[in-house]
Amino acid sequence: MANPLDAIVNFIIKYFIDPIRHHTGYNVINTLTYAIILVIGVYYVLKLLEKLDIKVNKKFTQALIPFMIFGGTCRALVDASVYPDTFLLITPGIYFTITIITMTSLLLARTLSSRRDWEFERILQYIGISLATINMALVILNIERAIAIVYILGFFALFYVPIIMASAKFPTSFLKGNEYIVGAHIFDASTTFCGIYFYGYVEQHVLTGFFIDIFGPFVMFPLKIVFITLSLYLLEWIVPESDVETLNIKNILKMVIIVLGLGPGIRNMSTILMGA
């Protein structure tokens, strides 16, 4: 009879350790686990922001975009062997690393803004830009496929421009003001499609990989657009902006949606450009 402890250890090794060790990507078990950890993490981050009296709005989200670029390029630089292949810089460890760096920067920016009467979001953004610039410089120094940026941005424009036009034509729709969120995921879809179609990369996420295996990489565009627009519609319907607390909840959920699109998109694009 198998030892229960051995069974647990083997389970952890099979579904969590080996995918990290061998870079085989995601499976159903670790995907669901990471999703639960994400939900718990978002809850505690929201509580910390409330304690610090920080409003999660568009200005705050924009200040965090450089940190998303920093995280995505960190992972790509590991793929390109510029940074060491360590748990702290690959999934899931990199999410903890970037979260700690971001929260430390947030606390520093908050302290400086209170003592020097500087704008909190601007300080936070400058810290993020400083970190992202270092990584972006390293990516540029290691570029091997410059033409890939033309493919990626071309497909991005092909699908994003109609979203902008639709939003302008129907200003009362739920898309108004949320175009950049859809754009983050169209960008991710563009990098995924170009990586698979032009350069032979393989999708590592379970759900999107399932659809790509059936319909091909082009399915990423309708899949992303439908899923994200539906998510935004439900978010606007379920979480009304009745007070500051619910508005913060809605905005931090929107920020998470952006991170889940822009972070992987930046990683994919940087990896493709460097030929990693």
250 pLDDT higher than 90: no
**Is position 1 within any domain?**
yes
What is the number of other CB atoms lying within 10 angstroms of the CB of residue 267? 25
CA 180, 143, 79 angle in degrees (round to 5)?
Answer: 80
How many whole angstroms separate alpha carbon 18 and alpha carbon 109?
Answer: 38
- pLDDT value of residue 174: 67
Percentage of the chain surpassing pLDDT 90? Answer: 56
Band of the pLDDT at 268, cuts 50, 70, 90? Answer: very high
What are 14-33's pLDDT values in tens digits? 888 888 887 777 888 988 89
Task: Pick the more confident residue, 38 or 186.
Answer: 186
Q: Average the pLDDT over 84-112 and give the result.
A: 92
Asked whether residue 100 carries a pLDDT value surpassing 90, the answer given is: yes
What's the number of domains the chain is made of? 3
Residues 260 and 220 in one domain: yes
Encode pLDDT of 143-202 as tens digits.
Answer: 999 999 999 999 999 999 999 988 888 776 667 778 899 999 999 999 999 999 999 999
Q: How far apart are CA 204 and CA 31, in angstroms?
A: 11
Residue 227 CA to residue 182 CA, distance in Å, equals 10
User: Which residues fall within 8 angstroms of residue 265, CB to CB, at 6 or more apart?
Assistant: 72, 184, 185, 187, 188, 190, 191
pLDDT at residue 125 in the model: 96
151 and 276: one domain? yes
Residues 154 and 274 in one domain: yes
The proportion of the chain whose per-residue pLDDT surpasses 70, expressed as a percent, equals 96
First-to-last alpha carbon distance for the chain, in angstroms, is 45
pTM, two decimal places: 0.92
Structural domain includes residue 45: no
Say if residue 183 is in the same domain as residue 269.
Answer: yes
179 within domain boundaries: yes
Residue 213 sits in the same domain as residue 88? no
User: Within 10 Å of residue 120's Cβ, how many Cβ atoms?
Assistant: 20
Q: Which domain holds residue 135?
A: 52-142
